[in-house]
Amino acid sequence: MSKFGLGLARYARLGRRQLIAFAILSAIVNGLVTAGVGAWLAQTYAAYQRKTVAIQSIADLVYERRTRAGMVMWSLKRNADLDELRYRKRVYDEAFVAWNAKTQRNVFTIRDISGQGGVTRLETQFQELLVPGLTATDQCITKAYDLKTKGGDPLPVLTACRMTDLHQFTLDCGATFTNELDRLTRLSFLPWGGYDVPMRKASEARIDRACGPEVFPKPLADPGPAQPAVAASPAAATPAAAAPGAVANPAAPALVPQEAPAK
């Protein structure tokens, strides 16, 4: 310490013990603050990584199920041989099972992202806007597949349920929904963290525009007599095509029931 420092210490009547105690106390306080801030930063980044991985998992499930359904659709449209069709339907069914196995976990992920303890608008949009499109797709390709394996023509069925439009709808809706989830998990080290209400409302509005009832492909009239192979059970197939979202609209949105296979 310089002579000026020693002079100031003598002037303030600070002895060697007081100076050492002050230095030790300062070191302890600085250490605690540094450790606390470091732990908070690490926890914030870990939460961000966890949510990002969860969103990627949801996106993978949506896109895999849509892609597998599209492969079945194209096999039906180009009249592929039955071995190819059966294989593609089998791997689609595996994607269907994987989706149902993780549906409730996806709902909890959405709730975690929203930062709210109860049922959120994002959960409702997931159940009532995105899931019905996937359900209608499943019902459509399953009905067409069953008809094809019985020797019938699946093309009128695909046309009636507007499979091509459903395929595009699930892409637009799924991309918008997962993009908004990613937007809401933007990394921030601000003390108050999270996102504000206007940002959440804006995300919900964009999802409504991309997935709402006004853009959902409505099925056309059932082909009826033009399908001789399904004449034995038209009543069982018609309600499923007429109400594509019936399975995906539970009375209690806090728990998401699994979709029943369209068979």
Identify whether the C-beta of residue 254 lies closer than 8 Å to the C-beta of residue 261. no
pLDDT of res. 103: 84
pLDDT of res. 79: 93
Report pTM: 0.68
| φ/ψ of residue 80, rounded to 5 | -70, 165
Report the distance separating Cα 104 and Cα 127, nearest Å.
11
pLDDT of res. 160: 95
Q: What angle do CA 33, 36, 41 make, to 5 degrees?
A: 120
pLDDT of res. 55: 87
Q: What string of pLDDT tens digits covers the 263 residues of the chain?
A: 445 455 545 545 555 666 677 677 777 777 767 766 666 566 666 777 777 888 888 999 999 999 999 999 999 999 999 999 999 999 999 999 999 998 888 888 888 777 666 678 888 999 999 999 999 999 999 999 999 999 999 999 999 999 999 999 999 999 999 999 888 887 555 555 455 678 888 999 999 999 999 999 998 865 444 444 443 333 333 333 333 333 343 333 444 555 666 65
Burial class (CB in 10 A: 0-12, 13-18, 19+), 76: buried
DSSP of 30-52: HHHHHHHHHHHHHHHHHHHHHHH
Report the distance separating Cα 259 and Cα 228, nearest Å.
28
> 24 vs 17, 27, 31, 158, CA distance in Å?
11, 5, 11, 78
Identify whether the C-beta of residue 51 lies closer than 8 Å to the C-beta of residue 185. yes
Report the distance separating Cα 252 and Cα 201, nearest Å.
22
